[in-house]
Structure 1
Amino acid sequence: MTLHFTCKFIVTIRPKEGWQVYSSAQDTDGRCICTVVAPEQNLCSRDAKSRQLRQLLEKIQNMSQSIEVLNLRTQRDFQYVMKMESQMKGLRSKFRQIESNRRTLLTKNFQELKGKMNELQLLIPVLEQYKTDATLISQFKEEIRNLSLVLTAIHEEIGAYDYEELQQRVLGLEGRLRNCMNKLTCGKLMKITGPITVKTSGTRFGAWMKDPQASPKNNKVWYMDSYTNNKIVREYKSVSDFVAGVESRTYNLPFHWAGTNHVVYNGSLYYNKYQSNIIVRYSFESGRVMTQRALESAGFHNVYPYTWGGFSDIDLMADELGLWAIYATNQNAGNIVISQLDHLTIQVLNSWNTEYSKRNAGESFMICGTLYITNSHLTGAKVYYSYSTKTSTYEYMDIPIHNKYFHMSMLDYNARDRALYGWNNGHQVLFNVTLFHIIKNDDES
């Protein structure tokens, strides 16, 4: 049995915490089929009980510091009281002396007594403050006693699980999520939300990307500024390093690139060689060109670019089904041609001719073997046309995409993150996508 439902994938960026993916689904009657949450790598540190435990410890530390301050103050006041006690004893002796011999009382004695009384007047506010501090100390001790009981209860509740055990639970949940995700076949684009601005850098034109074929632990980001006259590719170990500008490595390509429509796939960079229709496959591991091949009949050097120009004649991209090239030919009257490529040899495996003019397309991207085309690179752009390579049919659409910074020079889908990467007028952005999916049962092929 095959169930149909709408599934929304949301990707959020937290530079210091990594990625998180949510997936929800419902059938055509609106009933919830499944909700899956992928826990973050650092779930343990974000656990509610651990957070409460940490807050209690911080509160106790603050109270302990307050008590220490009060203790120092009361010690100081105690020394002052001891001094006043000594003076009072001396004053009592003076009074006894006066009582025993009233006739010998002199003016000097009165002045001395007056001075002593003035000194003792200062003792009154000190004693009042001492009394207040003592009350506060008592209250603090009582609160700490209560917090200690709560702390002990929480510790007993979660103390049975150490970090390694909790980490194994997280990994188990991730495995279950991936098993569920593997049951999702390719879907149809229904909605685009965002963007999330990850960083602002570079010129108005450029490309940034991740490898959809990389392992879950590999979150490298590659960055290529400008659409020509550049050969430098910058590598970052993670999105947080990319945001912070911490490069891990740079690569000096043997040829300049043309346009901004490059893609990293299975450890290699695929790009259009400047002033040619040649596609270059450059291996990051070996640091050299592995393959280069001409895309037969493909227009190049601003013959059939996207609406914004920039030598964007040949667009290389990847989705769940593999590597693709989007371009136009004279034979197809300047309309878009879709070709699926062998990622090792760059040979064309199959091609489809569309009826959509390449020069009238703002940008395009592949999801599950379907090409989606925007009608503009400027404000007000929307996904206007789609072509399915599975059925060789097209469809007109009306899916808005928020062009936040007014000029889109790169838009590409990442199948692993299930998000659109964009270069929006010098801003590196991410869009979330909502797809209509089919869930297959285990017994279905």
Structure 2
Amino acid sequence: MRALFVVLKPLCFLALLGYCPSATIRPKEGWQVYSSAQDADGRCICTVVAPEQNLCSRDAKSRQLRQLLEKIQNMSQSIEVLNLRTQRDFQYVMKMESQMKGLRSKFRQIESNRRTLLTKNFQELKGKMNELQPLIPVLEQYKTDATLISQFKEEIRNLSLVLTAIQEEIGAYDYEELQQRVLSLEGRLRNCMNKLTCGKLMKITGPITVKTSGTRFGAWMTDPQASPKNNKVWYMDSYTNNKIVREYKSVSDFVAGVESRTYNLPFHWAGTNHVVYNGSLYYNKYQSNIIVRYSFESGRVMTQRALESAGFHNVYPYTWGGFSDIDLMADELGLWAIYATNQNAGNIVISQLDPLTIQVLNSWNTEYSKRNAGESFMICGTLYITNSHLTGAKVYYSYSTKTSTYEYMDIPIHNQYFHMSMLDYNARDRALYGWNNGHQVLFNVTLFHIIKTDDES
């Protein structure tokens, strides 16, 4: 799933949105600025630099040109087949012509001397006719194929005229050159998207129900660090008394229930707030504040470390309980742990972790009670907290680790199935994964971005 600003259609989509006067990019000479996405208030979310010539119409012509070229190629193949068939049929026609000449000669003999007409002649004539009978349908097919070839030739002539007109309209750009211009623009789009790695949460839409399975509580996830071709899904049912992780090769396999592998963890997990990051599963060991790093590749625990002072075993859970004291998550900036301590009066502590050693790199103390939080997730180094796990929940509070500041928010989140026991952001998919009362769901997020040029960064 991709957020709104990810679903960008090169070229024509840009022109539809038009020029965004609030953009901060200073375009190079000979180029225009187009807005590729805006938020509900009309503010620019993404800015893309595009050629000043209207390549949208050219792109449409290029698409038409490509379709015509494909059509001509298909026609050429059809003509080739017809030619082979007509060559074969022509041999039959030649044979038929020879036999017709023989019949004509026989008829002349009969006409010249009717008195000598005997039974033998009739039998011979009948045999000749029988030989000719199967060739009549072949002759008919030959005539049909000849007509088709004629029609094809006429259509190719018409297409050639259209192609010539398109080439004249495109001007100096041939199709290959135009395609390179398109690829260049797509490269600029990708560069723009690279600038969109971080932003402020503006809206949550959905959910999309992917599957209904398992108990009321659980977790499912993909690896935000995986390659685009790796779409494995991991599934962990229940919040305790379980050590089985189910792996699926893709979301479609997950929906179909086609498992590719299962893992039997060495320790039971606590809660539902696990995360897969760069090929490893990070989870809270049951009845402890120990974080376990389990490698799927090696099938063994690589690291385990206690999160100092972190409450566990329903001391500081989310509002729904379920041993959800320690919430592990990942975003664009790395791996995080969300928990509460006595030293911070039961309020949420944010710690960034080293993915290999699970050592705390840095920590931030918030003033939001962990027990009053429904769920939370990190986007671009900012923690977003919902005020409930039930119907009517909304993102109520956020804390930025970049500025060490907080703000109150009011972003609704549709709790379709009335009980949310897991909510995690996936930076690769730019979506929220949720476990909503035995339903595995996805939420789309809209982020607001301020883009700087390379000169300004």
Q: Is the 8 A contact 1:187 1:437 kept in 2?
A: yes
Q: Deviations over 1:184-215 (max 9, x none)?
A: 36211111111111111111111111111112
Q: Return 30-39 or 330-339, whichever deviates more.
A: 30-39
Q: Return 346-355 or 30-39, whichever deviates more.
A: 30-39
Q: Return 192-201 or 290-299, whichever deviates more.
A: 192-201
> Once the 2 structures are TM-superposed, how far is the Cα of residue 125 of structure 1 from its aligned partner?
26
Q: 1:203 to 1:237 in 2, by over 3 A?
A: same
> Once the 2 structures are TM-superposed, how far is the Cα of residue 353 of structure 1 from its aligned partner?
1.1
> Once the 2 structures are TM-superposed, how far is the Cα of residue 5 of structure 1 from its aligned partner?
14
Q: Is the 8 A contact 1:15 1:239 kept in 2?
A: no
**Structure 1: how far apart are the matches of 2:173 and 2:329?**
45
**Structure 2: how far apart are the matches of 1:410 and 1:287?**
25
Q: Deviations over 1:139-192 (max 9, x none)?
A: 999999999999999999999999999999998776544321222362111111
**Structure 2: how far apart are the matches of 1:6 and 1:422?**
37
Q: 1:22 to 1:246 in 2, by over 3 A?
A: farther
**Structure 2: how far apart are the matches of 1:366 and 1:390?**
12
Q: Is the 8 A contact 1:5 1:27 kept in 2?
A: no
Q: Return 30-39 or 61-70, whichever deviates more.
A: 61-70
> Once the 2 structures are TM-superposed, how far is the Cα of residue 25 of structure 1 from its aligned partner?
3.2
Q: Is the 8 A contact 1:212 1:415 kept in 2?
A: yes
Q: Deviations over 1:252-275 (max 9, x none)?
A: 111111110001111111000111
Q: 1:64 to 1:321 in 2, by over 3 A?
A: closer
**Structure 1: how far apart are the matches of 2:321 and 2:329?**
18
Q: Deviations over 1:360-403 (max 9, x none)?
A: 10000011111111000000000111111112111111111000
> Once the 2 structures are TM-superposed, how far is the Cα of residue 117 of structure 1 from its aligned partner?
33
Q: Is the 8 A contact 1:13 1:198 kept in 2?
A: no
Tell me the equivalent position of 2:57.
45
**Structure 2: how far apart are the matches of 1:240 and 1:17?**
47
Q: Is the 8 A contact 2:382 2:398 kept in 1?
A: yes
Gaps of 5+ in 2: 1-13
Tell me the equivalent position of 1:168.
180
Q: Deviations over 1:399-425 (max 9, x none)?
A: 110001111000001111111111111
Q: Is the 8 A contact 1:307 1:362 kept in 2?
A: yes
> Once the 2 structures are TM-superposed, how far is the Cα of residue 355 of structure 1 from its aligned partner?
1.2
Q: Is the 8 A contact 1:305 1:312 kept in 2?
A: yes
Q: Is the 8 A contact 1:269 1:281 kept in 2?
A: yes
Q: Return 227-236 or 116-125, whichever deviates more.
A: 116-125
2:334 corresponds to 1:319: no
Give the RMSD, CA atoms, in angstroms: 8.2
Q: 1:77 to 1:29 in 2, by over 3 A?
A: closer
Q: Is the 8 A contact 2:82 2:145 kept in 1?
A: yes
**Structure 2: how far apart are the matches of 1:201 and 1:425?**
9
Selected match of 1:400 from 412, 415, 420: 412
Q: Return 247-256 or 111-120, whichever deviates more.
A: 111-120
Q: Is the 8 A contact 1:45 1:51 kept in 2?
A: no
Q: 1:71 to 1:96 in 2, by over 3 A?
A: same
Instruction: Specify the SS of the correspondent of 2:203.
Output: strand
> Once the 2 structures are TM-superposed, how far is the Cα of residue 228 of structure 1 from its aligned partner?
1.0
> Once the 2 structures are TM-superposed, how far is the Cα of residue 333 of structure 1 from its aligned partner?
1.3
Q: 1:342 to 1:161 in 2, by over 3 A?
A: farther
Q: Return 77-86 or 222-231, whichever deviates more.
A: 77-86
Q: Is the 8 A contact 1:41 1:170 kept in 2?
A: no
User: Residues 106-185 of structure 1: matches in 2 within 5 Å?
Assistant: 175-184=187-196
TM-score by length of 1: 0.67
**Structure 2: how far apart are the matches of 1:170 and 1:281?**
44
Gaps of 5+ in 1: none
Q: Is the 8 A contact 2:75 2:152 kept in 1?
A: yes
**Structure 2: how far apart are the matches of 1:411 and 1:329?**
22
Instruction: Specify the SS of the correspondent of 1:14.
Output: coil
Tell me the equivalent position of 1:97.
109
Q: 1:67 to 1:18 in 2, by over 3 A?
A: farther
Q: 1:78 to 1:442 in 2, by over 3 A?
A: closer
Tell me the equivalent position of 1:224.
236
Q: 1:196 to 1:24 in 2, by over 3 A?
A: farther
2:23 corresponds to 1:22: no
Q: 1:136 to 1:156 in 2, by over 3 A?
A: same
Q: 1:234 to 1:443 in 2, by over 3 A?
A: same
Q: 1:239 to 1:99 in 2, by over 3 A?
A: closer
Tell me the equivalent position of 1:247.
259
TM-score by length of 2: 0.65
Q: Return 232-241 or 114-123, whichever deviates more.
A: 114-123
Q: Return 422-431 or 181-190, whichever deviates more.
A: 181-190
> Once the 2 structures are TM-superposed, how far is the Cα of residue 352 of structure 1 from its aligned partner?
1.1
Q: Is the 8 A contact 2:15 2:34 kept in 1?
A: no
Instruction: Specify the SS of the correspondent of 1:144.
Output: helix
**Structure 2: how far apart are the matches of 1:226 and 1:13?**
49
Q: Return 353-362 or 109-118, whichever deviates more.
A: 109-118
Q: Deviations over 1:296-349 (max 9, x none)?
A: 111111111101111101000011111100001111111111111111100011
Tell me the equivalent position of 1:208.
220
Q: Return 208-217 or 99-108, whichever deviates more.
A: 99-108
Q: 1:261 to 1:135 in 2, by over 3 A?
A: same
Q: Return 41-50 or 299-308, whichever deviates more.
A: 41-50
**Structure 2: how far apart are the matches of 1:323 and 1:38?**
36
**Structure 2: how far apart are the matches of 1:115 and 1:221?**
74
Q: 1:131 to 1:288 in 2, by over 3 A?
A: closer
Q: Return 122-131 or 348-357, whichever deviates more.
A: 122-131
Instruction: Specify the SS of the correspondent of 2:231.
Output: coil
Selected match of 1:4 from 3, 17, 26: 17
Instruction: Specify the SS of the correspondent of 1:13.
Output: coil
% of aligned pairs identical?
Answer: 97
Number of equivalent positions: 442
